[in-house]
Copies of this chain bind each other. A is one copy, B any other.
């Protein structure tokens, strides 16, 4: 860990894929890493012990949700977010910008702040770059994200440019507001939509300010995997290799493998948790939906290659029964398995990069996924 800020050690590369280690105030994170999403100070449907048992080192929490309920000052009084949610490891918090745009009502944005109404009770709130940093400080986030203005996809290039440049000015205000402490860091967020020039301008502007890491934001909003990968191919080489790179809100298993192969170190996504509450399980032979009647008599586990009780100890027949019956245990077990599957995939990529065989790993992964789940017995 550096004397100031967050530590990141690049341990090796394999093509553009990187093997690294992040040092935070609350522990180490081996990268590439996937962060389960703990929106409202809970990774939905799991206890913290279950999350830790999947091999997850760091989780993400949402500034927008927590500022509205239970409130950042309240969490600070209760000892900070780690203590509040009983997660002793590192926590990254997003800035709230994305949720304000996607969830809140009556939002208006100007140079100073974004104003919006809570989706919970309609109360009026303001979020400025300085307040976004202050909230994340109150939460005691190991990694704080700058407040940015997200544009939808598709959007007019002129609108994307305006939002990107405002985000740059906000990033600088966040940099000034952030209080440096050992083991804590602030990440900038590269915006610019699907335009390579705007992305390059954003990356250069952020690096001129200087951050502990750089996120690629504004992707996985409908542009499709091929375009997302093209944006990564254009953007990631613009980022200094000695800083961690975080692809926000992505993705499905093949998105992760493709993005690691394009130089990304950190991920978060609601897909494994949300899918776990709707009956979908990810396996090494592709996703399956446990609601489907073909699983009703299937005595096989979900995926015995995943080191998790939910993946190995329960039959698909039982999981089908739980999902069909609307039982909470169905959501618990499928969420637990999905996170464990994601972490097993990340661990496999880390080992493959360290051993210089990432390309072969990615090819075998794709072949397994394409094969699809074998027929029910």
Produce 1/0 per residue, A40-81, CB < 8 A to B: 111011110100000000000000000001100010011100
One of A92-100, A215-223, A236-244, A309-317 at the interface: A309-317
Q: Is the CB–CB distance between B78 and A325 below 8 Å? A: no
Q: Is the CB–CB distance between B317 and A78 below 8 Å? A: yes
Known: A329-B45, A329-B46, A329-B47. A40 touches B309 (CB 8 A): no
Q: Is the CB–CB distance between A85 and B318 below 8 Å? A: yes
A180 at the interface (CB under 8 A from B): no
A window 314-333: CB within 8 A of B = 314-315, 317-318, 320-322, 324-325, 327-329, 331-333
Q: Is the CB–CB distance between A42 and B331 below 8 Å? A: no
Q: Is the CB–CB distance between B322 and A42 below 8 Å? A: yes
Identical subunits present? 2
Known pairs A44-B328, A85-B318; list 9 more (Cβ under 8 Å).
A44-B327, A44-B329, A46-B329, A70-B317, A74-B317, A78-B299, A78-B318, A84-B315, A84-B321
A-B interface, 6 closest residue pairs, ranked by CB to CB distance from nearest: A45-B328, A42-B329, A70-B321, A40-B325, A42-B327, A78-B317
20 contacts between A and B (CB under 8 A): A41-B318, A42-B327, A42-B329, A44-B328, A45-B328, A45-B332, A46-B329, A47-B332, A69-B325, A70-B320, A70-B321, A74-B297, A74-B317, A77-B297, A78-B299, A79-B299, A85-B318, A86-B318, A277-B328, A328-B328
Residues of A within 8 A of B (CB): 40-42, 44-47, 49, 69-70, 74, 77-79, 84-86, 277, 296-297, 299, 309, 313-315, 317-318, 320-322, 324-325, 327-329, 331-333
